[in-house]
Amino acid sequence: MVFYVQSTGKRTEIGLGSFTDVPLSVAREKAAEQRQILKAGLNPLHEKRKLRNEQKLKAAKAMSFADCARAYVEANRSGWSNSKHAQQWSNTLEQYAFPIFGDSPVAEVDTALVSKCLQQIWNSKNETASRLRGRIESVLDWATVHQFREGENPARWRGHLDKLFPKPSKVQKVEHHAALPYVEISSFIMSLHQQVGFAAKCLEFTILTAARTGESIGATWDEIDLAAKVWNVPAIRMKAKKPHRVPLSLQALALLSEMESLRINDYVFSGTKKGLSNMAMLQLLKRMNRNNITPHGFRSTFRDWAAETTSYPNEVVEMALAHVIQNQAEAAYRRGDLFDKRANLMQDWADFAYQNQSKDVDAELRKGSLAERLNGLDNSFFRRGPR
């Protein structure tokens, strides 16, 4: 059922409801209300839209920033590859933003509130503050799209907050991961061989492959191809979200052969039913009284060794580290992954790291075919170290 309105020569229909849902008596009451609006010199259609907007505004005022933040996290949870990402989002907002304007209507969050939130940590924890600003901006954008607020985003950086706060690059102090000098890598490997447990094996594999700790901890057996001497890391587990082939040195293959004999689940370095924790290797270094270095720092050790002692081109080393090519023009023309050259690089790195190991071990590693080496040697050999 509809009510027809004639205004400025144009006829407009206003719905009164379906005849199956709205009784005729109710429809007549609604029509009478529309006539009263017309008699008052108003446009019923405009008044209907005005009422709808008022209802939206009322709903917006009932929707707090904290409500929107939680809704945003839930809406995006399935799209985040790392399950911890959602928790990090929530923790940052709950710790810094919610105490200041979490209970405020999201429509009322303005530049003053956002600035007050960021000022508490902008200079002392700038990296966290930068992430916090971006997360607040995303939540407010989500609220705008859902019509819970209007206007410019008060958390936007360019042309707005950049006029109130110094650039992150001016505040942040670059803190490099504590790294071992490359000249000490061989003696460290010998000390590592005195340690027991899956964390020690995982750290050794991390060093041999120059991988990120998350990549080695999460390594599964379906990623390992012993025959092809390659570790295929899927895109979902890589920082750049691109698949990465890691050439395996003889030393890495021997270590993997030992781990295969101890296999209890799909993880290469399991230790438990779920695999190693992110803190396992860091705790190992503490037990070794090496608080001055970090697992991730061995990537810097590898980088320094390659730059100072070898003639491998920079692009080969950077690809071994799975770094993103910053030059877009170069990236557009780069097609291959330089696998063969990287295989030589990683073997040279492993040889350097094991240079002070037993001569007998080195000879055993190098003789015979891959199948003979992996199948013919017992596990006591793979626990390499001075005999």
Mean pLDDT of 113-120: 94
166-176 burial: b if 16+ Cβ within 10 Å, else e: eeeeebeeeee
Q: Report pLDDT for 253.
A: 94
Whether pLDDT at 385 is above 80: no
CATH superfamily of 65-171: Tyrosine recombinase, N-terminal domain (1.10.150.130)
CA 308 to each of CA 123, 302, 314: distance values in angstroms, whole numbers, following the listed order: 36, 10, 11
Same fold across 65-171 and 182-382: no
Whether pLDDT at 300 is above 70: yes
- Cβ–Cβ under 8 Å, residues 202 and 269: yes
Q: What are the residue ranges of helices labelled H in 167-212?
A: 168-171, 185-192, 198-209
Q: Report pLDDT for 124.
A: 85
Note the pLDDT tens digit of each residue in 92-113.
999 999 999 999 999 999 999 9
Contacts with 275 (C-beta within 8 Å, 6 or more apart), sequence order: 217, 218, 265, 267, 269
Mean pLDDT of 350-354: 94
Q: What token pair was written down for 135?
A: 């997360």
Q: What are the residue ranges of helices labelled H in 210-338?
A: 213-217, 250-261, 280-287, 298-309, 314-320, 328-333
Note the pLDDT tens digit of each residue in 175-208.
555 789 999 999 999 999 999 889 999 999 999 9
pTM summary value: 0.58
In the chain, domain spans: 2-62, 65-171, 182-382
Note the pLDDT tens digit of each residue in 221-234.
999 999 999 999 99
CATH architecture for the domain at 182-382: Orthogonal Bundle (1.10)
Q: Report pLDDT for 333.
A: 46
Please return the burial class of 269, using the count of CB atoms within 10 Å of its CB with bins 0-12, 13-18 and 19+.
buried
| Confidence class for position 384, pLDDT limits 50, 70, 90 | very low
Q: Three-state DSSP class for 377?
A: coil
Specify the length of the chain in residues. 387
